[in-house]
Amino acid sequence: MPLSPSLRRGIRDSILIFLAIGAFGVAFGVLAVDAGFSVWLALLASVVIVSGAAQFTMIGLLASGTAPVLLAATGLGLRHLPMSATLARLIGPQPLRTRLRLAFILVDETFGLTVHAAATGVDDLVAYKTGADLTLYSGWVTGTAVGAWFGEAVDPAAVGLGAFFGLMFLGLAAPLVRRRRDWVVALVAVAATLAAVAWLPAAWRLTSAAAVAALIGAFLHE
Amino acid sequence: MSDLALIGSVAVITFATRVAFLVRPRSSPEGLIGRFLDVFPLALFVAIAANSLIAPSGSPEVTPGLAAALGGIVGGVLFRRALWAVLAVGAVAFYAARAWSG
């Protein structure tokens, strides 16, 4: 069965990110095993959670106990609420099975690609996101497996992948800046992030900064 | 709580937040909430970029990441906000700054 053009484009657009996601998966696998997880538990975490932020935080707070981990996971997850509302608006009415599937891999990267695709006129956003989801999910899980089994031999941080991720989101934001209001939102987001870095726990920074900037943007009328 | 139960709990929390507005079709929010959702993706992407590039170690600092951010902005402006241009020019700026700073 031939793949739809939108699905193929979703796969194509996410190839570069696949490499970065895979490298981060390697880093997670290394850290998870180092923190005391078995190889299979590390792999299971990537298969069922599918969230780099939540999983790295879980590993980082493992020694602090259960409550901090669950609280941090909740704080990190809050940003998914407006993301899921935005995605629901973009895809329109869809069967429940489709919506559950799209929600399962509603990560920053595939959300960003889908918003970018909507802004650039991709016809079938469900197929597009499915292509991106499959690509990035396979990269995340495969990377975790490699890191968990062979982790000590690789060092993803050495090539500056953190900067690549930042650049990727800068690139995803670029086409969304169309009006003066959008510039204000972007500048407020930077300022709010720097303020959040100084004053808030890591789990709450991005959600808080984005919410403040979006709220100010919502009050600004063009 | 065992490690297995902890992983399961984090998975449930994460999926619950992801599926919240997708679990059943609703009409598109309008008014303030609609405008909030219009700009939230932009705000989130910029926040993630700023967090990764300007404050990667948890505190604001001048790093090659800042050079990457400036390079990415220049690339976006020069090449009509194309994703590849932001990545390419930003990456060149990042590695140049890292090499220069030793």
Structure ipTM? 0.80
Are A91 and A125 in contact by the 8 Å Cβ rule? The answer is yes
Question: What pTM was estimated for this model as a whole?
Answer: 0.73
Same domain, yes or no: A49 and A158: yes
Same domain, yes or no: A164 and A145: yes
Same domain, yes or no: A16 and A62: yes
> Is A46 in CB contact (< 8 Å) with chain B?
no
The tally of domains found in chain A comes to 2
Q: Where are the beta strands (DSSP E) in A19-178?
A: none
Mean pLDDT lowest among A9-23, A28-42, A46-60, B26-40: B26-40
The closest alpha carbon to B7, from A148, A134, A40, A104, belongs to: A40
Instruction: Name the residue of chain A whose CA is nearest to B13's CA.
Output: A74
Q: What is the mean pLDDT of residues A31-46?
A: 91
Distance of alpha carbon A196 from the chain centroid: 19
Same domain, yes or no: A41 and A151: yes
**Considering only CB atoms, which chain A residues are within 8 Å of B47?**
189-190, 192-193, 205-206, 209-210, 213
Q: What range does the domain containing A116 cover? A: 5-176
pLDDT band at B101 (very low <50, low <70, confident <90, very high): confident
Residues belonging to chain B: 102
How much is the CA Rg of chain B, to the nearest whole Å?
19
pLDDT, position A53: 78
pLDDT band at B26 (very low <50, low <70, confident <90, very high): low
Same domain, yes or no: A154 and A128: yes
For A155, the token pair is 């060092």
Distance of alpha carbon B18 from the chain centroid: 17
Same domain, yes or no: A160 and A91: yes
Are A197 and B55 in contact by the 8 Å Cβ rule? The answer is yes
For B5, the token pair is 């139960």
> Is B79 in CB contact (< 8 Å) with chain A?
no
**Considering only CB atoms, which chain A residues are within 8 Å of B24?**
96
Same domain, yes or no: A68 and A79: yes
Same domain, yes or no: A118 and A74: yes
Which of 135-154 (A) contact B at CB < 8 A?
Answer: none
Element (H, E) at A174: none
Compare A132 and A221 and report the one with higher pLDDT.
A132
Q: Where are the domains of chain B?
A: 1-38, 54-102
